[in-house]
């Protein structure tokens, strides 16, 4: 049986593939390397696609395992900073 994909997963996969082809993996050699530029760019594109704020997008990603798998995310980016660590 062929499994259907959510339109959000399809959009995320496409955005991530295009970002991987267009942007370098990291912005700088000494960057923290927690997230790649293509992952972050795909998150921002998805955020605009679903019309969410940064804070709401963080919550949405926490609830959406399929989208996180499509982006190969180990942790969800924090809306206040891009570290994946809880803010203090």
pLDDT band for 2, please (50, 70, 90 cuts): low
Read off the pLDDT of residues 8-64 as tens digits, 9 standing for 90 and up: 999 999 999 999 999 999 988 888 888 999 999 999 999 999 999 989 998 999 898
* Domain assignment of residue 60, yes or no: yes
* Domain assignment of residue 2, yes or no: no
* Domain assignment of residue 81, yes or no: no
pLDDT band for 7, please (50, 70, 90 cuts): very high
pLDDT band for 1, please (50, 70, 90 cuts): low
* Domain assignment of residue 83, yes or no: no
Count helices and strands (H / E) in the chain: 4, 0
Question: pTM value?
Answer: 0.80
Domain housing 54: 7-26+34-70
How many structural domains is the chain composed of?
1
Measured CA distances, 31 to 39, 45, 48, 86 (Å): 14, 22, 25, 19
* Domain assignment of residue 87, yes or no: no
| Cα 75 to Cα 28: distance, rounded to the nearest angstrom | 20
- CB 14, CB 71: distance < 8 Å: no
Residue 18: closest CA among 48, 36, 42, 35: 42
Read off the pLDDT of residues 62-86 as tens digits, 9 standing for 90 and up: 898 999 999 999 888 887 764 444 4
């Amino acid at each position: 049986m062929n499994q259907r994909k959510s339109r959000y997963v399809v959009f995320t996969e496409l955005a991530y593939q295009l970002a991987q082809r267009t942007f370098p993996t990291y912005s700088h050699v000494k960057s923290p390397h927690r997230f790649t530029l293509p992952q972050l760019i795909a998150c921002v594109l998805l955020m605009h696609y679903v019309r969410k704020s940064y804070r709401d997008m963080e919550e949405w990603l926490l609830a959406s395992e399929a989208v996180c798998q499509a982006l190969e995310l180990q942790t969800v980016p924090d809306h206040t900073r891009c570290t994946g660590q809880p803010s203090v």
